[in-house]
């Protein structure tokens, strides 16, 4: 089942498209703002329908933010488009423009064509977005905006553990067992130093708040 992300601030449009694509057999995810669209991109959709005009960041800005981390086709939905707008959109990484009002059947055919073409050439990447922080579990990288955070292997693995279990608290002993293994020589006291280093590295980009301390219990990832 293909995954489609529909991002548009017009709820009637989203509802119409959701019903259409669900009936066509798609797994549909929805967003109503730029921020929601960026967060929803973490589901690794097979294609994204993105309205150009949305609150808290237009579609072109959203496309630019996620394009380096999401390989799937991105189709812009817009009521009108000038050549200058098309140039901006394609420069940001868009694959196509759909002009409103549009035929649902034509839209469905174009979506299917883009997915077929994309799946001949690409594999799905496992990426999640937390505000400005982008975690690519396939490439094992953490970026803030366009800049990669220089992390040691175990630092990335700690972030991976916490982010894949967002909100769950892990004490130092459990983190040590998960990352170093039960038979490793050493003790869990190294975790506090690794957490400190991660915070310093994220802090250079103003993103250290994502590593939360639950006093007397351990650490967790905070969105």
- Let me know if the fold of 3-124 is the same as that of 128-221: no
The residue extents of the domains of the chain are 3-124, 128-221
DSSP helix/strand/coil, 170 = strand
Give the separation between CA 30 and CA 4, rounded to whole angstroms.
8
Confidence check: pLDDT of 186 > 80? no
Which pLDDT value is given to residue 107? 94
Model's pTM, two decimal places? 0.69
Task: Tell me whether strands 218-221 and 96-99 are parallel, antiparallel or unpaired.
Answer: unpaired
β 27-31/3-7 pair status: parallel
For 83, the 3-state DSSP assignment is helix
Q: What is the pLDDT of residues 48-90, one digit of tens each?
A: 999 988 877 788 889 998 988 888 999 999 887 777 777 888 8
Residue-wise pLDDT for 98-135, tens only, equals: 888 889 999 999 999 998 887 765 555 688 999 899 99
How does pLDDT run across 150-180, given as a tens digit for each residue? 999 999 999 999 999 998 999 999 998 888 8
Instruction: Please give the helix or strand (H or E) that residue 149 lies within, else none.
Output: none
**Res. 26 pLDDT band, cuts 50 70 90:** very high
Side-chain half-sphere of 202: how many Cα atoms within 13 Å?
25
Q: The domain 128-221: what is its CATH number?
A: 1.10.10.10
Please report the pLDDT score of residue 101 as a whole number.
86
Q: Are 108 and 21 in contact (CB under 8 A)?
A: yes
What local confidence, expressed as pLDDT, does residue 70 receive?
A: 86
The CATH number of the domain covering residues in 3-124: 3.40.50.2300
């Amino acid at each position: 089942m293909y995954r489609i992300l529909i991002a548009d601030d017009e709820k009637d449009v989203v509802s119409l498209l959701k019903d259409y694509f669900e009936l066509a057999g798609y797994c549909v995810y929805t967003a109503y703002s730029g921020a929601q669209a960026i967060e929803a991109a973490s589901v690794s959709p097979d294609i994204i329908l993105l309205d150009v005009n949305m609150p808290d960041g237009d579609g072109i800005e959203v496309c630019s933010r996620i394009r380096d981390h999401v390989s799937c086709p991105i189709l812009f939905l817009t009521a009108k488009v000038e050549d200058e707008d098309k140039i901006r959109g394609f420069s940001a990484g868009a694959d196509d423009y759909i002009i409103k009002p549009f035929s649902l059947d034509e839209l469905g055919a174009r979506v299917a064509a883009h997915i077929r073409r994309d799946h001949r050439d690409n594999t799905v990447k496992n990426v999640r977005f937390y505000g400005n922080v982008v975690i690519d579990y396939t490439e094992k990288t953490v970026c803030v905006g366009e800049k990669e955070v220089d992390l040691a292997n175990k630092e990335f693995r700690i972030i991976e553990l916490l982010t894949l279990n967002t909100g769950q608290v892990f004490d130092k002993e459990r983190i040590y067992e998960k990352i170093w293994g039960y038979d490793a020589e050493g003790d869990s006291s190294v975790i506090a130093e690794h957490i400190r280093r991660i915070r310093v590295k994220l802090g250079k980009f103003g993103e250290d708040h994502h590593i939360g301390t639950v006093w007397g219990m351990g650490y967790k990832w905070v969105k």
